C-alpha cells in the first residue's frame, strides 16, 4: 500500500507544525468560552498568546481524576463542565466516567477513519466490529470511522462468539476492527471447525498486541495494525504497514512530559503522553493520558511525515507506599526542578515491608561537592522520609520512563 488517507499525512513537518500552532489559540479561546471547567482552569490566560509549544507547556494539565471529580461535584452540568454544550451521545467508562461524543457535527467524531485506512481497510468492504456497543464508545468509534471511509460494518460486539463466527462465515467480511484477543478466539474457533475466514485486514486496539501475535495473525492471512485511541480523545496515533512506531493523528497535538509534571521532554526520552485536541465538542487541553511513550526520531518509511510514538511503554502514574507514606512521581519531578544539575532520577524501594529502604539514583555530570547531601535533604523535605542518594554517571539509568521502582517482595 502506498496511498494515503489525505494530503495532510505527507505535509512538510514545518507546515504541519505551523498549522497546528495557528489553530491552537482559537481552540484555547473556544475552551475558555464554551467549557465551564476551562473558563475557571484557564482564567487569566491570553488565548492569542498560546501559539507555540512552549506557551502550551505553561498551561496546567487535565487528568482523568479531574474529570471524575468534576462530574461527581457538578452533576447538574452532567459532564463536569468540560464539554462544550450538550453532545449528541454520552458514554460510560469504568469509574464511572462519562464521555461525550466529541464532535456532534463531524461524520467521524473520533477521527478513526485515518487509522482504518492505514490498516488497509477500504470503501466498499465489510468490517466485522469486535468492540462493545454497550455503555462504552469503542464500537461506535469504529463504526463511525468505517462509515466515513465508505465501508460497511457488522456490529458483532463482544461475547456470543458462536453467533459471531456464524456471521463471519455467512457474510464473508474482508476486515475486522476490535480487540486482538477476540480476533484470535474467532480465528481459532474457525480453525477448530475446519473453516477458513475471509478476513484479510484488521485494526486492533484496546489491548496489547505484541509482535508475536501480529505474526500469528499474519500466518493465518490477516494483516493486523494497531491504533492508540481513547474515549476522551479519539485517535491519538496509528500503525502503518511500515510497523515502525505509531504515527500521530493529524487532529491532535502530542507532548511527552516528565512523569509527575507537565515539563516537556526532548525527542527520544520516555515520559507521559499529553494530548491537546482540536475537537470543538470536547476541547481537552493538555490531557494527561497516564500512558508512557516516547517520540521516535525521523519520519516513517511509509511516507507519512507526522511524529511517531514508540507505542505503549507502561503507566506514568507511579507511586509506592514507604513506611506508611505514599511517594509519588510528582514529588520526584519537584526534586528535579530544585536541583537543575540532575538529569534523570529513579527512586528504588527495597527491603522488607515495615523495614523499607529508599535509594535515589540520580544522573549527574561533574557533581559539585555536597550535592548528594543537598538532594537527600530535598528528598526528605518532599516525601517526609529519609533516603540515601547515589549519584551516577549520565546514561546509567534506563530510558523507560520509570521514576519509582519497587523491588520489595509482596
Residue 238 reports pLDDT greater than 80: yes
Q: Half-sphere exposure (CA, 13 Å, Cβ side) for 311?
A: 15
| pLDDT reported for residue 2 | 53
Q: How confident is the model at residue 1 (pLDDT cuts 50, 70, 90)?
A: very low
Residue 266 reports pLDDT greater than 70: yes
Return d(Cα 208, Cα 94) in angstroms, integer.
19
At 151, list the grid cell: 465501508
Are 374 and 331 contacting, i.e. CB atoms less than 8 angstroms apart?
no
Q: What is the mean pLDDT of the chain?
A: 92
| pLDDT reported for residue 321 | 80
Residue 68 reports pLDDT greater than 90: no
At 324, list the grid cell: 506508611
Element (H, E) at 187: helix 180-192
pLDDT, mean of residues 73-85: 81
Residue 354 reports pLDDT greater than 60: no
Return d(Cα 176, Cα 179) in angstroms, integer.
9
pLDDT, mean of residues 219-248: 96
Tell me the three state secondary structure of residue 215. helix
| pLDDT reported for residue 73 | 85
Choice among 124-128, 290-294, 315-319 with the minimum mean pLDDT? 315-319
* Strand segments (E) across 186-286: 201-204, 223-230, 234-238, 246-248, 252-257, 271-277
Nearest to 289 by CA among 64, 31, 98, 60: 64
Are 164 and 128 contacting, i.e. CB atoms less than 8 angstroms apart?
yes
- How many residues are listed for the chain in this entry? 410
| pLDDT reported for residue 293 | 94
pLDDT tens digits along 195-215: 999 999 999 998 889 999 999
pLDDT tens digits along 379-396: 999 998 899 999 999 999
Return d(Cα 206, Cα 93) in angstroms, integer.
13
| Beta bridge partner(s), residue 61 | none
pLDDT, mean of residues 283-312: 94
pLDDT: is 25 or 328 the higher one? 25
Instruction: Determine what percent of the chain is predicted with pLDDT higher than 70.
Output: 97
Tell me the three state secondary structure of residue 88. coil
* Strand segments (E) across 265-410: 271-277, 287-293, 295-296, 308-309, 319-322, 325-328, 345-352, 355-363, 388-392, 404-406
pLDDT, mean of residues 81-98: 87
At 166, list the grid cell: 456464524
Class of domain 319-406: alpha beta
Domain boundaries, the chain: 13-315, 319-406
* pTM of the complete model: 0.85
pLDDT, mean of residues 51-73: 92
Choice among 12-16, 24-28, 207-211 with the minimum mean pLDDT? 207-211
pLDDT tens digits along 127-183: 999 999 989 999 999 999 999 999 999 999 988 899 999 999 999 999 999 999 999
Return d(Cα 410, Cα 407) in angstroms, integer.
9
pLDDT tens digits along 218-233: 999 999 999 999 999 9
Q: Which CATH superfamily is 13-315 part of?
A: ANL, N-terminal domain (3.40.50.12780)
Are 275 and 258 contacting, i.e. CB atoms less than 8 angstroms apart?
no
| pLDDT reported for residue 208 | 84
CA dist list (Å): 253 to 49, 91, 145, 176 = 17, 24, 20, 28
| pLDDT reported for residue 244 | 94
Amino acid at each position: 500500500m502506498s496511498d494515503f488517507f489525505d494530503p495532510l499525512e505527507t505535509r512538510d513537518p514545518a507546515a504541519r507544525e505551523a498549522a497546528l500552532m495557528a489553530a491552537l489559540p482559537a481552540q484555547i479561546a473556544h475552551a475558555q468560552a464554551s467549557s465551564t471547567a476551562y473558563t475557571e482552569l484557564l482564567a487569566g490566560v491570553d488565548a492569542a498568546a498560546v501559539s507555540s509549544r512552549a506557551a502550551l507547556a505553561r498551561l496546567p494539565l487535565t487528568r482523568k481524576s479531574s474529570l471524575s471529580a468534576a462530574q461527581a461535584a457538578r452533576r447538574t452540568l452532567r459532564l463536569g463542565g468540560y464539554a462544550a454544550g450538550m453532545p449528541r451521545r454520552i458514554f460510560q467508562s469504568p469509574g464511572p466516567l462519562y464521555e461525550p461524543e466529541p464532535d456532534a457535527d463531524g461524520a467521524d467524531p473520533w477521527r478513526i477513519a485515518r487509522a482504518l485506512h492505514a490498516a488497509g481497510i477500504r470503501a466498499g468492504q465489510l468490517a466485522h466490529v469486535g468492540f462493545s456497543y454497550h455503555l462504552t464508545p469503542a464500537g461506535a468509534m469504529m463504526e463511525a470511522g468505517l462509515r466515513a471511509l465508505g465501508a460497511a460494518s457488522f456490529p458483532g460486539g463482544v461475547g456470543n462468539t458462536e453467533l459471531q463466527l456464524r456471521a463471519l462465515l455467512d457474510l464473508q467480511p474482508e476486515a475486522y476492527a476490535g480487540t486482538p484477543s477476540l480476533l484470535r478466539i474467532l480465528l481459532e474457533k474457525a480453525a477448530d471447525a475446519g473453516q477458513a475466514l475471509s478476513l484479510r485486514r484488521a485494526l486492533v486496539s484496546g489491548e496489547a498486541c505484541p509482535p508475536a501475535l501480529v505474526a500469528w495473525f499474519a500466518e493465518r492471512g490477516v494483516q493486523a495494525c494497531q491504533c492508540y485511541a481513547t474515549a476522551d480523545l479519539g485517535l491519538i496515533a496509528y500503525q502503518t504497514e511500515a510497523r515502525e512506531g505509531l504515527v500521530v493523528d493529524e487532529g491532535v497535538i502530542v507532548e511527552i512530559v516528565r512523569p509527575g509534571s507537565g515539563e516537556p521532554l526532548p525527542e527520544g526520552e520516555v515520559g507521559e503522553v499529553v494530548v491537546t485536541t482540536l475537537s470543538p465538542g470536547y476541547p481537552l487541553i493538555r490531557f494527561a493520558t497516564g500512558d508512557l511513550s516516547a517520540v521516535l526520531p525521523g519520519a516513517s518509511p511509509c511516507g507519512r511525515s507526522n511524529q511517531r510514538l514508540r507505542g505503549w511503554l507502561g503507566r506514568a502514574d507511579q507511586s509506592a507506599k514507604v513506611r506508611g507514606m505514599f511517594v509519588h512521581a510528582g514529588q520526584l519531578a519537584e526534586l528535579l526542578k530544585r536541583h537543575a544539575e540532575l538529569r534523570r532520577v529513579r527512586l528504588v524501594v527495597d527491603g522488607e515491608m515495615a523495614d523499607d529502604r529508599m535509594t535515589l539514583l540520580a544522573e549527574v555530570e561533574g557533581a559539585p561537592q555536597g550535592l548528594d547531601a543537598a538532594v537527600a535533604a530535598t528528598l526528605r523535605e518532599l516525601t517526609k522520609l529519609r533516603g540515601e542518594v547515589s549519584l551516577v554517571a549520565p546514561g546509567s539509568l534506563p530510558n523507560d520512563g520509570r521514576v519509582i521502582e519497587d523491588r520489595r517482595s509482596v
